Structure 1
């Protein structure tokens, strides 16, 4: 195999992690579509004493921060972050599996919410956790993936810090 072909093979070694992103996007969009078809805005279905399904429209970022900001701002931010993640995965073919999976989760979640912003002008949130009268801000599958990806990155940093 030529040196350029070998380099090319290494360069795309992390591409298989993008399946995680694709799964997140598909699961996120399917669940949001089910919510849109089944619930009117603000409808709530009690599932357990601490968990409801609800249909909310989030025009802000995570947990409705920056609500009212232009959807184009968030879409642009997603494009920049997504390009950064793809460049990282391409330029670092031997990225640790935990880091690659984390980045793929973040990418899938970011793109899942960006699809909503482009198609609807807002993000569909529907998972509502609560206890003792306090509600965690509603969220969705994309938000779960972003949070899991960030937590795994922190775990990786903590793990590597312990090794040094």
Structure 2
């Protein structure tokens, strides 16, 4: 492993751990300051802080599975996904900054939600974005990091990779 590779891994670890810490801190703050199912209006007509428990996955997936089986299944899926992310990250070149940053964000977010699911059987969601009567699904810092990380990977695949192909032709 080159010096650049070691430095890049340290940066990735720092990003992932920072996301994990921010996620856990914000969820704890919500648990302590907002009653379950209550809302605090932050930006009228657009943003509330809420306190909800998500026992399923994104968009209500697996909501009909019994709690015990769901917790085990969701934990197993998260562990397999995190193992795959780490394995893939080892294959990514140190100079592929966008891909490595995306993987670090996804891993940090996955760890944050995994801790909640494994310890409590649910994830605390608290960001409620809405327009008029339409409310998007509530989410948290971990979900945001996973989404941004996935966006970085998509950008890396389509924008950076196509640039590499066109410059090598």
Give the alignment's TM-score, normalised by structure 1: 0.88
Tell me what 1:31 maps to.
26
Q: How does 1:2-151 map to 2 (within 5 A)?
A: 7=1, 12=6, 14-16=8-10, 17-49=12-44, 50-69=46-65, 70-94=70-94, 96-151=96-151
Deviation at 1:9, TM superposition (A): 5.6
Deviation digits for residues 101-122 of structure 1 (CA, Å, limit 9, x no counterpart): 0000000001100000011110
Unaligned runs of 5+ in 2: none
Unaligned runs of 5+ in 1: 1-6
Q: Output the CA distance in 2 between the equivalents of 1:27 and 1:87.
A: 24
Paired residues of 1:14 and 1:90 also in contact (CA < 8 A):
no
Tell me what 1:3 maps to.
none
Paired residues of 1:43 and 1:55 also in contact (CA < 8 A):
yes
In angstroms, what is the RMSD of aligned CA positions? 1.8
Q: Output the CA distance in 1 between the equivalents of 2:73 and 2:138.
A: 21
Give the alignment's TM-score, normalised by structure 2: 0.86
Tell me what 1:155 maps to.
155
